[in-house]
Amino acid sequence: MNAASAIDYRELARRRLPHFLFEYIDGGSYAEVTLERNVSDLKDVALRQRVLRDVSQIDLSTRLFDQELALPVALAPIGLAGMNARRGECQAVRAANKAGIPFTLSTVSACNLEEVAAASSKPFWFQLYMIRDRGFMRELMARAVAAGCTALVFTVDMPVPGSRYRDYHSGLAGAPGITGAIRRTLQGAMRPQWAWDVGINGRPHSLGNVAPVLGDKSGIEDFFAWMRDNFDPSVTWDDLDFIRSEWNGPLIIKGVLDPEDAIRAAELGADGLIVSNHGGRQLDGVPSTAKALPRIAEVAGDRLTVMADGGIRSGLDVVRMLALGAKGVLIGRAWAYALGARGEAGIAHVLRLIEAEMKVAMSLTGATSIDEITQDILVESKRG
């Protein structure tokens, strides 16, 4: 199969990855209503086609958090991404470097901060959860600074992990010990290319950043248990003071859906926020990002940098999100599918596709630069 779009890589990843890994990437929480809305609501955003305008020169570059970007796109944090291809986060950061965009490393990545820094030729971003052990959080932020990370993405919509039925059905969650290990091993054996590339040659299979506190229990089977036991449900807005005291660079709050929360983030000194419902992986039934974004951009967009993720599968979707009020977007599943299917080359191809699709969308709406992508390029009935 020749991939012609980012969504084509979904099928390629399904064919190559063990069932439990594909379901982890692909699934959402509960009945996956929000997961579906993220895609369908964004598709419903109608663009205003304009003609006979000089669109011979299209500029996709922008500036976010004092960083010049070739595209208004960043790779979102993906837990366990390093299991999709051999040392997957290292492959992803190289692809992002070459495309001139930021890569965001997850707290629960397979490759740790130091390994990714060694693979990267440019600064990258680090994503952090609120963890019960504040001393360990302090150490993680210090390691991120030492690794050259230029922005901290603080995820706030996961005080407790969401319930994702697919992970239980596949054996990734709810099947501890030898039973779960056997199920995952058998699924891996059915994907010999992955088994050789990752299963055998991609070791160690661990949660790289949190391995120091997990000790012997640092394998994939400990992933959900660690999140359940260590994420802090008592976190409040007051905890941003702790983050700010330890982090001097740009602070980006990820997981905001409500305008009042957006205003609070601005008041407490965040530099940016990401309108996000965790890709439909936390609370099912909440609004899609496309529905939540315009109001948040309206009330907080002049006080901090508003970004968005969720449902973005093409360059056309990127343009839609920018027109709805985002200054930049993060893509998650699009790069995770590509990594699982073809590694670094797959991610690089997806980013080239997004770039080409953005140019077409901008040309046909009369926008020649990122600053010109505003609500004016939306059909009137869809604005706001």
Domain boundary assignment for the chain = 8-382
Binding site for glyoxylate, by residue number, is 24, 129, 164, 278, 281
273's CB contacts (< 8 A; 6+ apart) are 252, 253, 254, 256, 262, 265, 266, 296, 300, 304, 305, 306, 307
Predicted local confidence at residue 235, as pLDDT: 87
Predicted local confidence at residue 382, as pLDDT: 43
261's CB contacts (< 8 A; 6+ apart) are none
Binding site, by residue number, is 24, 77-79, 106, 127, 129, 155, 164, 254, 276, 278, 281, 309-313, 332-333
In this structure, are strands 305-309 and 328-331 parallel, antiparallel, or unpaired? parallel
- Distance in angstroms (rounded) separating the CA atoms of residues 343 and 260: 40
Residue type, 56: S
pTM: 0.95
Q: What share of the chain is helix, strand, coil (3-state, %, to 5)?
A: 50, 10, 40
Residue 187 to residues 80, 84, 199, 336: CA-CA distances in angstroms?
17, 14, 11, 19
> From first to last of its 384 residues, what are the pLDDT tens digits of the chain?
899 999 999 999 999 999 999 999 999 999 999 999 999 999 999 999 999 999 999 999 999 999 999 999 999 999 999 999 999 999 999 999 999 999 999 999 999 999 999 999 999 999 999 888 889 899 999 999 999 999 999 999 988 888 899 988 888 876 666 777 788 889 999 999 999 999 999 988 888 888 777 666 655 666 667 677 778 888 899 989 999 999 999 999 999 999 999 999 999 999 999 999 999 999 999 999 999 999 999 999 999 999 999 999 999 999 999 999 999 999 999 999 999 999 999 999 999 999 999 999 999 999 999 999 999 999 974 444
Predicted local confidence at residue 33, as pLDDT: 97
Predicted local confidence at residue 384, as pLDDT: 44
- Distance in angstroms (rounded) separating the CA atoms of residues 246 and 266: 18
Binding site for FMN, by residue number, is 77-79, 106, 127, 155, 254, 276, 309-313, 332-333
Nearest Cα residue to 296 out of 261, 329, 259: 259
The radius of gyration of the chain's CA atoms, rounded to the nearest angstrom, is 20
pLDDT in tens, 74-99: 999 999 999 999 999 999 999 999 99
Predicted local confidence at residue 219, as pLDDT: 57
Q: What is the DSSP track for 273-321?
A: EEE--GGGTSSTTSPPHHHHHHHHHHHHTTTSEEEEESS--SHHHHHHH
| Annotated active-site residue in 19, 169, 205, 278 | 278
Class of domain 8-382: alpha beta
Known catalytic membership, residue 169: no
Q: Strand order in 125-128's β-sheet?
A: 73-75, 328-331, 305-309, 272-275, 251-256, 151-155, 125-128, 104-105
Predicted local confidence at residue 383, as pLDDT: 41
